[in-house]
Amino acid sequence: MRLAGKTACLLCLFILISPLYAEEPLEEPLSEEELPLDDEFIFFEEFFIFEDIFFLEEIPETLPVVEEDLPDDLLDEDDFFFEAPPLVFEVPEFEIRSIDVIFPHLSQRQRIMAMGNRGLRHSFVHDEFPTINPNPDVGIDLLSRIMEKNPSHLIEALVVVPYNERELDLLDIYNALGRIETIKDFPALMNGRDFYVFTESTRIESARNRRAIPDPLPAEQLPFAQTMYLRLKEVTLGNLFIRGDISISTHGITYSMTNFTDVRYFLIPIVRAERFITIIYLEPVMEGILIYSMSGFYLPGFIADRVNLTPNINRRIEIFVKWITNGLREQVNTATE
């Protein structure tokens, strides 16, 4: 019985590897879009390229019987198993960049403003050009993504937050962005006084289920990408429902915020869903943490003539910069405790 069992195993193995029973490759390989991929498993896509997919044909119901005497010590159960070598993925090393490498065309005055508390900001309309232009070779192109929304008005901003006590990394930045509940605690400056625009700020479960949920504990590892949903309640526009998309690159983190419902003013929709977007790019540089953002929103002409949203958006950008800056300082305090 033992010999017969081993013989049957040998026959099965022979049949599976025999070219007579292997199916030809598919005429047209499946595209990447058709492959079932896990969003959180994607990092460097060039590591995972699937060109041909094979599967087994049906095994014939009747198989030829081969009788052959084999010595008992010829086959061993361990012969059917092997230990694959471990896969090791190395993160490429890179040098920390300078603000002058990323933004080589800044004037001396612009650089000084970017290093200040308020930062460098500029607003313009769709047929004008930005003044904060990153080096095209560094791979930071927020403008193209903003223009996909066909905005009528745009605002760009650049701030560099100096290091204090220790340098910060991408995990520090990610955890700073996760403190959604504290956004409401930061005011904007209006007529020389602090003005608290947001009265509430919280995560919500999803776009459909808008039940408030708490911020998670600080992460110990970076995700490859993440989507979260927020509710920001402000004094003039009421509830703003925002989808936040975070993506991680080699040098920095990109945080995109888009309204997935209409923005209303006294029940009148002034910005339609998906027509407002703010993209914030953060990177540890030699001089500190670089915060580069661009916002775009569309206003119909008859509304733009009556409502000037640019100062309002500017104040909200100011709040977001204060919120991120404070979150970065909290990461320093947490590490030193």
Q: What is the pLDDT of residues 54-91, one digit of tens each?
A: 333 344 444 444 444 544 443 344 443 334 444 333 44
- Provide the number of structural domains found in the chain: 2
pTM: 0.71
Q: Could you tell me which of 173, 277, 290, 280 has the C-alpha nearest to residue 223?
A: 173
Q: Are residues 42 and 156 in the same domain?
A: no
Tokens of 273: 């869903």
Domain region containing 150: 104-336
Asked if the structure places residue 197 within a domain, the reply is: yes
Looking only at the bridges linking them, the beta strands covering 198-204 and 225-234 are: antiparallel
Interacting residues of 121 by C-beta distance below 8 A, sequence separation 6+: 155, 156, 157, 158, 314, 317
**Which of these three, 64, 80, 96, is where a domain ends?**
80
Q: Are residues 50 and 160 in the same domain?
A: no
pLDDT band at 244 (very low <50, low <70, confident <90, very high): very high
pLDDT band at 236 (very low <50, low <70, confident <90, very high): confident
What is the mean pLDDT of the segment spanning 88-116? 82
Q: Could you tell me which of 129, 42, 55, 143 has the C-alpha nearest to residue 89?
A: 42
Q: What is the DSSP string of 254-282?
A: EEEEEESS-EEETTEEEE-TT-EEEEEEE
pLDDT in tens, 142-186: 999 999 999 999 999 999 999 987 889 999 999 999 999 999 999
- pLDDT for residue 93: 55
Q: Are residues 43 and 137 in the same domain?
A: no
Phi and psi at 273, nearest 5°, equal: -55, 140
Q: Are residues 196 and 332 in the same domain?
A: yes
Q: Are residues 162 and 258 in the same domain?
A: yes
| Count of beta carbons in the 10 Å neighbourhood of residue 121 | 19
Asked if the structure places residue 212 within a domain, the reply is: yes
Asked if the structure places residue 112 within a domain, the reply is: yes
Asked if the structure places residue 317 within a domain, the reply is: yes
Is residue 294 pLDDT above 60, yes or no? Answer: yes
CATH of the domain at 266: 3.30.530.20
Asked if the structure places residue 94 within a domain, the reply is: no
Q: Are residues 332 and 255 in the same domain?
A: yes
Q: Are residues 55 and 191 in the same domain?
A: no
The amino acid at 261: T
Asked if the structure places residue 290 within a domain, the reply is: yes
Q: Are 233 and 205 contacting, i.e. CB atoms less than 8 angstroms apart? A: no
Q: Are residues 108 and 241 in the same domain?
A: yes
- pLDDT for residue 76: 43
Q: Could you tell me which of 277, 290, 295 has the C-alpha nearest to residue 106?
A: 290
Tokens of 62: 């009747």
